[in-house]
Chains A and B, each alone.
Chain A
Amino acid sequence: MKNDIKNNTGKKNKLIDNKEEKNKQTLNSEIDNKTEKKSNKKNKPKYSLEHKKFLNKIRLKTFFVIFIQITILIAFFGLWEILVNNGVLDGFIYSSPSRMINTLAELSRSGELLTHSLITLKETLLAFVIATGIGFLVAVLLWSNNTIKRILEPYIVVLNSLPKIALGPIIIIWFGAGTKAIVVMGILIVIIVTIINILNAFLNTDKNTILALESMGANKAQIFFKVVLPSSFPDIISTLKINVGLSWIGAIMGEYLVSKAGLGYLLVYGGLVFDLDLIMTVTIVLCFLASLMYFLIALLEKIVKARH
């Protein structure tokens, strides 16, 4: 009897296995059909065996890279936790992942995390958008008029080398110790770099291509939109990526000075009361938000590229 039952269950399992395999197969073939239909639509030739091998190789490599990246991350936090737990590192000074998770839970329960994050995010985005927008327009103006460019060049160079934090007191006196001052600080940090980078991209456009279009009768606006802007696209995107980082710097620096609210304020506060858990947690949150914004820009890049 027992044997029978065992046999039965064994068979059942096998049956199930078979079914699952069949399901998988049908699924696979469906997917294959779909991709084939798609490729038929696009009139793409079927890939050769070598090309498939090539694709597989690339996929394998990507998989490997991602795997290692995740491993490093886990190892880092894991090691940190273990060292603190075993008393090698002092948790009071170095905090630890588990303590950070607790702090994070506390902060989000009290709603502080959200309010402070939103404040900093708002300041960062405002600085980013305003500075990038104005910086871009100024770059266009400087590109379109060589005389204006030459007149303004020394001022831009000086402003670029000036450490913006030095302007902190002035900004606070002029704009009040609040959001406005922080945004202005962010704008000052971002705008000069934007102007310089984007203008350089514009100026590096191939002269011959511009001449070729000019010989077809193109005016300045046409040259800008048909040659200069598209050829500067990669540089503009990398400027945006740099600006993400810079506007976070601006916002946090502004909050250090103003010290009223925001993640920067939390950091200063954490420093004053010697709360390393708070400092570490906020730093991680900052990392997360900044990389989120960076990926949004990367996504924008992909979308724009796909369109053209």
Chain B
Amino acid sequence: MNEIITVKDVSLIYHSKKFETLALKDISFKIEEGDFVALVGPSGCGKTTILSLISGLLTCSSGEILVNGLKPDKKSKVCGYMFQKDNLLPWRTVEKNLYVGLEIQHTNTKEKKDYALSLLKKYGLENFKTKRPDELSGGMRQRVSLIRTLALNPKILLLDEPFSALDFQTRLKVCDDVLKILKDEKKTALLVTHDIYEAVSMADKIIVLSARPATIKNIHTLTFGRDKTPFVRRDMKEATDLFQKIWSEIQDEK
């Protein structure tokens, strides 16, 4: 398989008038096409920053990033970025919110819209199509935001804690679903999560970051239960062992 994301010796400094913040320091990793990679680390270490760099919203201070063989560019439409905050447009209905990305990319064909609607149905939000975002619960809004990202059918998905506002039950279900969609459609995904169990049950690879300035603490490649659903995989012995390991790795940083 070929590498779709290459991050090499990347550092990033946030500049403001009063001070500078070194957020990332010499980060290097590779992601192969079709991989599902989880990014875990203590809060505020720079996970969102990494996603922003890959999506092209930020440019790295030093080092090099290649996405699909090219420098990251937000106009390239390769990446679909789901933000930590849902960022739905409050004046649009749920349905119209789903079409925002399609409108921007001038691909709002009937086919794509239908696909978005089918996802809406799948996630049990069909009846809320004509509602405004502030009439939905936090978990529902997050699902809409996820569907909005999926509707664009990007090659790479950057997911920033996509399931954090979901209740436990829905969360497990949505995890299964999302992973299935991603695997069926051979998508590459980079998932930021603070839930180590989520990482362990879904990922092919887990990147553990240190506290800020983030450096790579460890990269785990998961070989067990790759044909199983996250729900099943979560309870495998290897999973619990790995959980313990990553837990202590992050704990060291705090």
| Residues of A bordering B, CB below 8 Å | 206, 208-209, 211-219, 222, 226-227, 230-231, 233, 308
Among A208, A230, A233, the residue within 8 A (CB) of B87 is: A208
* Chain B hits for A308, CB < 8 A: 91
**Contact present for B100 and A217 (CB under 8 Å):** no
Contact with A along B98-110 (1 / 0, CB 8 A): 0011011100000
A230/B76 in contact, CB under 8 A = no
B85 touches A217 (CB 8 A): no
Task: Produce 1/0 per residue, B21-46, CB < 8 A to A.
Answer: 00000000000000000000000000
B81 touches A215 (CB 8 A): yes
- Interface residue B203 (Cβ < 8 Å from any Cβ of A): no
Residues of A within 8 A of B87 (CB): 206, 208-209, 211-212
Question: Cα distance A227–B104 when bound, in Å?
Answer: 12
Query: 28 A-B contacts, Cβ less than 8 Å apart?
Result: A206-B87, A209-B87, A209-B89, A211-B57, A211-B83, A211-B87, A212-B81, A213-B100, A213-B104, A215-B55, A215-B74, A215-B79, A216-B74, A216-B77, A216-B80, A216-B100, A216-B104, A216-B105, A217-B75, A217-B76, A217-B77, A217-B104, A222-B104, A226-B89, A230-B89, A231-B89, A233-B91, A308-B91
Report how far A231 CA is from B91 CA in the complex, Å: 8
Give chain A residues whose Cβ lies under 8 Å from the Cβ of B79: 215
Known: A209-B87, A216-B105, A231-B89. 16 other contacts (CB 8 A): A206-B87, A213-B100, A215-B57, A215-B74, A215-B81, A216-B74, A216-B100, A217-B76, A217-B77, A217-B105, A219-B75, A226-B100, A227-B89, A230-B89, A233-B91, A308-B91
C-alpha gap A230/B100 in the complex (Å): 13
Interface residues on B, range: 20 to 34
Which of B74, B76, B77, B91 contacts A214 (CB under 8 A)?
A: B74
List residues of chain B with CB within 8 A of the CB of A218.
Answer: 104
B152 contacts the other chain (Cβ, under 8 Å)? Answer: yes
Contact across chains for B101 and A216 when beta carbons are under 8 A apart: yes
- A208 proximity list for chain B (CB < 8 A): 83, 85, 87
Of chain B, the residue at the smallest CB distance from A214 is B74
- A226-B75 Cα distance, complex, nearest whole Å: 17
A216 to chain B: which residues have CB within 8 Å? Answer: 74, 77, 80-81, 100-101, 104-105, 152
Minimum CB–CB distance for A268 against chain B, Å: 46
Interface residues in B51-106 by Cβ distance below 8 A to A read 55-57, 74-77, 79-81, 83, 85, 87, 89, 91, 100-101, 103-105
List the A residue with the shortest CB-CB distance to B105: A217
Interface residues of B in 186-210 (CB under 8 A from A): none
- Which of the listed residues A209, A213, A216, A219 has the most CB atoms from chain B within 10 Å of its own CB? A216
Q: Give CA–CA (A51, B77) in the complex, Å.
A: 47
Chain A residues whose C-beta falls within 8 Å of the C-beta of B56 in the assembled complex: 215
Task: State whether B81 touches A230 (Cβ < 8 A).
Answer: no
4 closest Cβ pairs, A-B complex: A212-B87, A215-B81, A216-B101, A217-B75
